[in-house]
Structure formats: structure tokens, C-alpha cells
């Protein structure tokens, strides 16, 4: 951790802060942008201007004495025909041209159509909508300490304690504080129902909690030999990834939950994501490798083989995101020694594109409504970058964090993103637009009489 980060932490520690309390930052007033009046170059005739200032004036003086009325009339007619009757050299606006009617009026009226409506460019706020304090959050690239459940409740692990923040009401509650010898918390992940949450621990155990009753349901143990830094749900299957390089599928409905074990990573598994269909699992590790596993060929013995082994990254791969509009498209991001976002066809294992972002890629999120991808980064800007897919043109860069943005989570409606960083703040960004439910619904058509009858006899 660099000196600047230590100074930031010490500054926050001197203040008595409660977890997930509003953190207000002063906003600078925007300066008015004043423009000068600048001549319109496209409305100027530079050739005529040069002639009028040099040769034109000279020729006019020479012919003034000898010109006859007929010659003068000819000169004026010629000037008018050649469009030389300029009175100004500088022009500040274009004179509109007279419309030319190529077709008779009765034909042009029939061909006149409404122009296509151009979709207005979406406004993307450059500052966070809300900032909450997140004291004692663990600044560790390989962990996953933030998740937003389907019931609109955000879970965040701060050292040994898991807090829940209800986005609908803004209320905060404490789910659990882990014993000192078991913690700190190293990963959290909501089940699809938005009620149950899995909590991975430093001592290799995983706890399952019911958030509605604040009750621990069970503890999964014996599968891993070291901390569990990544979790991913697939219906009733909880997949866990450990520092021991193992990936374990746990069926939480049965007494002996371990149903499959995936062996392929040689170092810590720091990223796990199931595809939308639940058929393929992507795993990223500190060994710079991405594996694609197929659920249909999974086996409870040690012979389970990966579908694809992707070795193009040159640093740890934690950021993984399955595309919501193309089932076999996976985006992956590399750490500080790699700095690239890569796109994969998971049917063939082919790398479709690689983009150098210039900094450590900590997490990735796809928009649910647009073809856009959001990435969070470390040194030097600690920013969130919004990309247009597939051109990968930068649409926005969101700054405000003063340390690497390690964790991101997306709201259930897909529009708001929460980001947590080593600067001990949790920020909310309205980066993906307006929720579909908030858009004005089109009025329903009034049913015609007897519309349910095909014909009347």
C-alpha cells in the first residue's frame, strides 16, 4: 500500500464514522463557458477577398477614367452574373440558399415523409449520486466483498462484519460479525431469491444466512484448505473458489453438499461467474488463467476437465462478466501487469478482441439495457470507465475514488452501480440510464367491440 493510501486511511480513521452513513463532499460551482464571436469561414470567399484587396482595386482605378456607359453596364452585368457583388469580406452567418423544386408540387407532397427520430444521447452523470462510509473494508484485489441482491438489498463486508443496506429505504442493519479466529470475511454473494446470502471466510468455511430472520442456516466446511475468496450461485448450487486453487460445487439442499470439484488453477481462484443459462462457469485465478467449465460434463471425481483453458492474460484475472445479450460472449479483465479487457467466444475458445485500458482492471459489469460495458480500475486514476460495445469507444470516465476500485455491484433494475474502494467509501453511480419501469408506458389500445369474435353470423 502506497503512502498516499495510508494518509487517506489515517485521515478517515481520525473521524468517528459509522458504517454506511452518508458521506457528503463539497461540490464546486460550474463556471460559465463564454465564447467569442468568430467569423464563419465556410461563408467566406477567400479568393474573391484576395482579388478585391489587391488586383481588383488596382484595375478599378485604371479603368475608371476611360470607361464608357456601355462598358460600365457590361461590367455590372458581368459582376452580377459571376456573383462578384460582395460588400463584405468577413461573414458571420451563411445565407440560406433558395430551395430548388426538382419535382412538381403534387409529387413532392406525396413523397414527403417524417424524418426518422434520432435517439438522444443519454446523459451520464460524472459524479456519484451518493457516497457512504465503508470503514475497515479489506483492500485486497483477490477478494469479493460487495453484492447487490434481487430484493434490492446491498451486502458489504467490512473486516469481520457483514452489513446490509436496503436501497429502497436507505436503512442499514448488521447481519453477522464473524469470530476473530475465523475471519475476516473474504467473499459474499446473494442467492437468486434475494433472501439467502453466502459468506466466505478466511478459515476456509462458508456460512449460509437467512437475511429475513438474521439466522445462520448452515456451515459448509471440509472442501477447501484455505480462505474462500470467490462465490457464485447457480440456483441451488453454490460454487466456491479458494486460495488452494480448487473450485467446488455445493448442493445446499443435501447433507453432504459437495457434488463436483474442478481442478485446474494452480493459484488462488479470485473470480467466479456462471453464465445466464447456468450451463457454463467462468473462473479466473492468480495464475493468470481463465477456465470455462461445462456443467453437463461435470463429475464428482477428479477427472472433470475444463472446456477451455485461456492463457492470454499476463496477470491475475478477477474481473469476469457474461454478456446479457449474447450467450457465448465473456469479458475478462487482467490485473496490474496486464491491464487489458479481453472478449471470448466460449463455444470455440477464440479471443475476439483485446483492449489495453492502461490500468489494473478490478471488475466488469455489462449494462442490461444497452450494449455497454463498465470497468473499474486501479492506479493511476482509480476510475470507472464506460465503454460502447463492440467499438470499445469510451463513453465516460467516472472519477472520485482515491484508491483502486476493487468491487462493483449492479442494482436489480440494472441502472445503478455501487463501487467500493480501498479509500473506505461506497459510491453509487447512475451510469446505465433510467429503469424501464420508470419510462412512460404507452397507452393501451381500446378494444374494438366484439374483438373476441372472429365473425358475426
Which set of grid coordinates corresponds to residue 225? 484448505
Residue 119 has a pLDDT of 67
User: In angstroms, rounded to a whole number, what is the distance separating the alpha carbons of residues 302 and 307?
Assistant: 15
Residue 70 has a pLDDT of 76
Q: Which of 430, 426, 433 is nearest to 172 (CA)?
A: 426
Instruction: Sort residue 15 into left (φ over 0), alpha (ψ -120 to 50) or beta.
Output: beta
Our CA angle for 181, 182, 183, nearest 5°, is: 100
The Cβ-side half-sphere exposure at 213, using a 13 Å CA radius, reads 6
Query: CB within 8 A of 334, min separation 6: which ones?
Result: 288, 313, 314, 315, 316, 317, 319, 340, 342, 361
Residue 96 has a pLDDT of 53
Which set of grid coordinates corresponds to residue 359? 490500468
- The total of other beta-carbon atoms located within 10 Å of residue 61's CB is 8
Instruction: Determine whether 243 is exposed, middle or buried from the number of CB atoms within 10 Å of its CB (0-12, 13-18, 19+).
Output: buried
Maximum Cα–Cα distance across the chain: 116
In SS3 terms, 32-79 reads as CCCCCCCCCHHHCCHHHHHHHHCHHHHHHHHHCCCCCHHHHHHHHHHH
User: In angstroms, rounded to a whole number, what is the distance separating the alpha carbons of residues 277 and 299?
Assistant: 19
Residue 297 has a pLDDT of 81
Residue 302 has a pLDDT of 57
Residues forming a β-bridge with 430: 416
Q: For cell 445462520, what's the residue? A: 216
Report whether 231 contacts 200 (CB < 8 A): yes
Residue 436 has a pLDDT of 63
Residue 443 has a pLDDT of 46
Average pLDDT of each block of 10 consecutive residues along the chain (457 residues)?
Answer: 44 61 60 49 64 61 60 73 57 55 51 58 92 97 98 98 97 97 97 98 98 97 97 97 97 95 97 97 98 84 83 98 97 97 98 98 96 96 97 97 98 97 97 69 43 40
Residue 186 has a pLDDT of 98
Amino acid at each position: 500500500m502506497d503512502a498516499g493510501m495510508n494518509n487517506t486511511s489515517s485521515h478517515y480513521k481520525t473521524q468517528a464514522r459509522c458504517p454506511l452513513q452518508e458521506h457528503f463532499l463539497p461540490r464546486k460551482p460550474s463556471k460559465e463557458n463564454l465564447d467569442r464571436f468568430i467569423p464563419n469561414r465556410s461563408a467566406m470567399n477567400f479568393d474573391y477577398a484576395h482579388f478585391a484587396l489587391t488586383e481588383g482595386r488596382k484595375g478599378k482605378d485604371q479603368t475608371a477614367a476611360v470607361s464608357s456607359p456601355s462598358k460600365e453596364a457590361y461590367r455590372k452585368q458581368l459582376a452580377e452574373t459571376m456573383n462578384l457583388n460582395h460588400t463584405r469580406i468577413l461573414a458571420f452567418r451563411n445565407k440560406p440558399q433558395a430551395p430548388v423544386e426538382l419535382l412538381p408540387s403534387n409529387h413532392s407532397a406525396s413523397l414527403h415523409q417524417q424524418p426518422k427520430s434520432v435517439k438522444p444521447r443519454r446523459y451520464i452523470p460524472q459524479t456519484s449520486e451518493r457516497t457512504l462510509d465503508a470503514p475497515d473494508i479489506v483492500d485486497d484485489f483477490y477478494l469479493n466483498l460487495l453484492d447487490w441482491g434481487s430484493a434490492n438489498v446491498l451486502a458489504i463486508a467490512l473486516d469481520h462484519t457483514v452489513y446490509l443496506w436496503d436501497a429502497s429505504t436507505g436503512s442499514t442493519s448488521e447481519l453477522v460479525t464473524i469470530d476473530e479466529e475465523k475471519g475476516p470475511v473474504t467473499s459474499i454473494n446473494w442467492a437468486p431469491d434475494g433472501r439467502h446470502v453466502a459468506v466466505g471466510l478466511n478459515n476456509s468455511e462458508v456460512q449460509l444466512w437467512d437475511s429475513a430472520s438474521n439466522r445462520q442456516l448452515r456451515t459448509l466446511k471440509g472442501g477447501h484448505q484455505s480462505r474462500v475468496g470467490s462465490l457464485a450461485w447457480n440456483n441451488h448450487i453454490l460454487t466456491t473458489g479458494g486460495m488452494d486453487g480448487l473450485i467446488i460445487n455445493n448442493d445446499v439442499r443435501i447433507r453432504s453438499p459437495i457434488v463436483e470439484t474442478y481442478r485446474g488453477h494452480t493459484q488462488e481462484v479470485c473470480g467466479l461467474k456462471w453464465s445466464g443459462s447456468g450451463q457454463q462457469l467462468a473462473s479466473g485465478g492468480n495464475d493468470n488463467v481463465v477456465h470455462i467449465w461445462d456443467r453437463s460434463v461435470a463429475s464428482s471425481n477428479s477427472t472433470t476437465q475444463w472446456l477451455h483453458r485461456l492463457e492470454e492474460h499476463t496477470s491475475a484475472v478477477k474481473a469476469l462478466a457474461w454478456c446479457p445479450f449474447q450467450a457465448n460472449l465473456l469479458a475478462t479483465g487482467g490485473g496490474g501487469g496486464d491491464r487489458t479487457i479481453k472478449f471470448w467466444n466460449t463455444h470455440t475458445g477464440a479471443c475476439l478482441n483485446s483492449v489495453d485500458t492502461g490500468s489494473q482492471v478490478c471488475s466488469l459489469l455489462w449494462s442490461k439495457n444497452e450494449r455497454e460495458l463498465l470497468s473499474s480500475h486501479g492506479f493511476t486514476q482509480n476510475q470507472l470507465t464506460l465503454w460502447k460495445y463492440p467499438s470499445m469507444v469510451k463513453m465516460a470516465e467516472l472519477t472520485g475514488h482515491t484508491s483502486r476500485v476493487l468491487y462493483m455491484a449492479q442494482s436489480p433494475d440494472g441502472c445503478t452501480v455501487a463501487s467500493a474502494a480501498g479509500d473506505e467509501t461506497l459510491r453509487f453511480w447512475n451510469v446505465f440510464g433510467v429503469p424501464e419501469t420508470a419510462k412512460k408506458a404507452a397507452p393501451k389500445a381500446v378494444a374494438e367491440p366484439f374483438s373476441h369474435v372472429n365473425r358475426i353470423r
